[in-house]
Amino acid sequence: MSSTQHALPVTRAENFPEWYQAVVRDADMAEPSPVRGSMVIKPWGYGVWELIQRQLDDRIKETGHDNCYFPLFIPLSFIAKEAQHVEGFAKEMAVVTHHRLKNVDGKLVVDPEAKLEEPLVVRPTSETIIGDAMSRWIKSYRDLPLLINQWANVVRWEMRTRLFLRTSEFLWQEGHTAHVDEADAREHTLRMLEVYREFSETVLAMPVIAGEKPENERFPGADNTYSIEAMMQDGKALQAGTSHYLGTHFAEAQDIRYQDKDGGQTLAHTTSWGVSTRMIGGVIMTHGDDDGLRLPPAIAPKQIVIVPMLRDKPEDADVLAYCRSLRADLVKQSAFGVAIRASVDEKPIKSAEKRWNWVRRGAPLILEIGPRDAAGGQVTYMRRDDLRSEGKVKSAALARDAFVAQAPALLAAIQQTLFDHAKARLAGAIVTGVSDMAGLAAFFGAAEEDDDKGAAFKGWVRAAWSKPTGAALDAVAAQLKALKLTIRNAPMDQPAAVGPCLFTGAPGVEEILIARAY
C-alpha cells in the first residue's frame, strides 16, 4: 500500500455502491451469510452495535422505559386483527408452519405430521403481541403511562438486500407505550423522536433532520409517523429512525382499555418507535472515506490502537513494554463518560499491514511506536479524521505524558470534526428555490442517471406543498416515483409563512424535503 493511493479498491466517486460494499467488507463489519437475505455481523461491526445499544439504552431508561422481552413468534390471528397493519406487512413475513423434522430414507425433511394448527409469523415488529400484554397489564389510569422497550431481532422478507441497510433479519430496539390520552401519547412520540435526533447527532456524529412523514409513508396502522433523515455522501437520504403515534388503532384491535378516574372504561393511546442496525449503514455512508471507515470515537470499539513497530530485533521487547504501559495509562483516562478503549495490536503480522487494517476499520487514533519513540518517551499518532495531507498519510508526535493527558480532548475533537463536516455537507446541500416539477426534474436529473454506480451528488430539495391526501397525494407520489424521488419528511422546524405548492401552485401548507433515498 503506497501512502498516496487509497486503502480501498474503489473510491466513492468511482462507484458509490461498490465503495459501500468495500467498506463493509474491508472494515470487517459484516458479510453476507449463506442464508438468503441475512448477514453475519462480525466482531468489529457488532462492537459498534454494542456501543450504540449501551448509549441508546441509557437514554431509553432515562426517559422512564423498562426493557422486557416478548415472543419471537406471533400467531397469525394477532396480525390479522389490525387491518391497516395487515396491509402493510402481510406481503413480507417468514412463516413457521411445522415444528419437527424427520429422517426419511436418510434424508432430513419437514415432518408433515407436525403441522401447526395456527401458523406462526416471525415478528416483523411487535405492536400486536405487546398490545396483547398491555391489555392484561393495564387496569387503571394509575398504570399509565406504560413505557416498554425491547431489544430484539425482527424479520421482514426482502428480495433485494444490502448489508446493514436492508436485510431480511435485522437487530433493533422497539419502544411501545400506552397513555391516558392523545395529548400525552403525542408528546411522548415527539419526545422519543428528539431522543433519536440527539443520540444520532451526539453519539453517531450524524446530523439529521427530524420531521413528519407524509401520509403515504406512514407506518401501517399509525396516525402519524415521524422520522430522522440523514444525508449520505452520495446525496441520498437515509431514514435512520422512526416514531409513531398510533392513536387508538392498536388499542381497539388488542383491547387496551383502562378504568379512568370516573370509573369508565377508556381506550389507551399508544406509540411505537425504533432504530436498527441500519444506523450502522448510515454511519458508514456519513463518515467513510476512500481509505475505509471513520468511526466516531463514541462508538469505536477501539478508540486508540497502538501498533508496535517490531523488527525481530532485541529492542522489540522494549517497544512492546512501552506500548503496553502506554495502553495501561490510556485506559485510566475517560472519554465520553467511560474509560478510554485502547489496545495494543500484537498480532504476528507486519506493522504496515496493521496500520492499514486500522485505517480501514476507522479506529480514531492509530499510534505507530518504534524503538525511537520508546527510547525518547514519545508517541507518534495518526488522526483518522485527518489522515492525509496532499494525498500523503501524515502523523504528529507528542511527548508520552502530553499524549496521555490530551487523549480525551483528541477523541472529543475527532467526534466534533466528524459531526461538523457532515453537518456542513447537509446544510450546504439542501436546496431551496425549486418551484415546480420541471425544476425538480432538472435538479435531480433523469431517473436513469441514478444507475448502478450511484448518481452524482445532488442533495435534497426543500419546497412548500399543499399537503394533499388520498388520491391527490398518490398522484404526487407517482410523479416523484418516476424521478426515483420520495418525500422524506416535513421538518419540525417550519418557517412562519410558506410559498406556493411545488406540485400544484396552490397555497402551501408546510415545507417538505424531497430526495433520492435508501
Is residue 331 at the binding interface for its own copies, with CB under 8 A as the rule? no
What value does the CA radius of gyration of the chain take, rounded to a whole number of Å? Answer: 26
CA 408-3-453 angle, to 5 degrees, is 95
CB of 48 to its own copies, least distance (A): 11
397 contacts: CB under 8 Å, gap ≥ 6:
373, 378, 379, 380, 381
Long-range contacts: 40-47, Cβ < 8 Å, 24+? 41/171, 41/277, 43/301, 44/301, 44/361, 45/164, 45/280, 47/301
Please name which of 455, 458, 436 lies closest in space to residue 515, comparing C-alpha atoms: 458
> Nearer Cβ to its own copies, position 100 or 372?
100
Is residue 47 at the binding interface for its own copies, with CB under 8 A as the rule? yes
Among 11, 17, 59, 73, binds its own copies (CB under 8 A): 73
Is residue 15 at the binding interface for its own copies, with CB under 8 A as the rule? no
CB of 179 to its own copies, least distance (A): 17
Among 13, 93, 180, 431, binds its own copies (CB under 8 A): 93
Among 2, 103, 265, 389, binds its own copies (CB under 8 A): 103
Is residue 58 at the binding interface for its own copies, with CB under 8 A as the rule? no
Point out which span in 150-158, 191-199, 231-239, 257-265 binds its own copies (CB under 8 A): 150-158
Point out which span in 84-92, 217-225, 432-440, 450-458 binds its own copies (CB under 8 A): 84-92
CB atoms within 10 A of CB 458: 19
Residues 407, 304: contact at Cβ < 8 Å? yes
Query: Which spans in 399-446 are helix H?
Result: 400-428, 437-444
Among 1, 96, 409, 506, binds its own copies (CB under 8 A): 96
> Nearer Cβ to its own copies, position 118 or 493?
118
Size of the site for its own copies (CB under 8 A): 65
CB of 61 to its own copies, least distance (A): 10
Is residue 339 at the binding interface for its own copies, with CB under 8 A as the rule? no
Site for its own copies in 168-207 (CB under 8 A): 169, 171
Point out which span in 64-72, 176-184, 334-342, 426-434 binds its own copies (CB under 8 A): 64-72
In whole angstroms, what is the distance from residue 373 CA to residue 445 CA?
54
382 contacts: CB under 8 Å, gap ≥ 6:
355, 359, 365, 366, 367, 368, 393, 394, 395, 396
**Residues 345-374 vs its own copies: string with x where CB under 8 A?**
--xxx-------------------------
In whole angstroms, what is the distance from residue 367 CA to residue 341 CA?
14
Residues 80, 211: contact at Cβ < 8 Å? no
Please name which of 277, 281, 279, 287 lies closest in space to residue 362, comparing C-alpha atoms: 287
In sign, the C-alpha dihedral spanning 431, 436, 439, 444 is positive
Among 23, 51, 148, 280, binds its own copies (CB under 8 A): 148
Is residue 76 at the binding interface for its own copies, with CB under 8 A as the rule? yes
Is residue 142 at the binding interface for its own copies, with CB under 8 A as the rule? yes
Length of the chain: 518
Residues that bind its own copies (CB under 8 A): 31, 33-35, 38-43, 46-47, 49-50, 66-76, 78-80, 86, 90-103, 107-108, 110, 119-122, 129, 132-133, 136, 142, 148, 152-153, 155, 157, 169, 171, 347-349
